[in-house]
Amino acid sequence: MNETIDVAPGLWVWRVEHPDWDPDAGWEPAVTSTVVESGGEVAVLDAIAPPAEASEIWERLDATPPTMAVVLKPDHVRDVDLFVRRYGVEAYGPSLFWRHDIPETELEPIDPGTELPGGLVALYDGRGRAETPLWLPEQRALVFADALTERNGSLRVWATPWHELSVLPVLRAMLELPFEHVIVSHGHPVHDRAAFERALELPPFDEAGGE
């Protein structure tokens, strides 16, 4: 699978198969990378490099080259080093990483509340997974790494032991933002505000339980 989806002016995603996927991964092989143009910057978010044969994706990236690369979660390092080398950009992300998945690039740290170049704002997701979703004011969009996912046609909150205690209050607070679009990494990538609101009322997605 190599496809692109336009979400809003200056906001699009591409989907490719994750190179390390296996049937026991707990998520589907296709994953989403996001591109946003905001405040004179072009950011790639949680980007996985398209294969060489996906020339239409590379051509689109090269036509409006990224000026920064952002990692939203420690286990979404993915191909940040490749994008830094190819486009000579600054990179931003978490301060800590998994021991076997550390980028060569020294990333500028992101914490909840950090405002990145272009006006992108890092949020807190309440899940204790060091994820910083991004608020994109120009496109009125939220971009998540793993806090939310799509399964069987529904947007769901990914389960943690703290779902009721800390996750739901934090996600509900995001409703104060005037967002219209929600982008997630796994499953169908693009959702609307109503789907986000429904997700807060549904049971969380438990990959171990398969629901």
More confident site: 30 or 112: 112
pLDDT given for residue 26 in this prediction: 63
Give the span between the Cα atoms of 15 and 48, in whole angstroms.
Answer: 9
pLDDT given for residue 83 in this prediction: 98
Tell me: the pLDDT tens digits for 123-182?
999 999 999 999 999 999 999 999 999 999 999 999 999 999 999 999 999 999 999 999
Read off the pLDDT band of 29 (50, 70, 90).
Answer: confident
Bridge partners of residue 15, in order along the sequence: 3, 32
Give the span between the Cα atoms of 177 and 173, in whole angstroms.
Answer: 8
pLDDT given for residue 18 in this prediction: 72
Provide, rounded to the nearest whole percent, the portion of the chain with pLDDT above 90: 87
Which domains, and CATH codes, for the chain? 3-199 (3.60.15.10)
Mean of the per-residue pLDDT values of the chain: 93
**The two three-digit tokens of residue 37, written as one number:** 């143009």
Tell me: the pLDDT tens digits for 161-177?
999 999 999 999 999 99
Which strand ranges, in their side-by-side order, compose the sheet holding 11-17?
3-8, 11-17, 30-38, 41-45, 68-70, 90-93, 108-109
pLDDT given for residue 211 in this prediction: 47
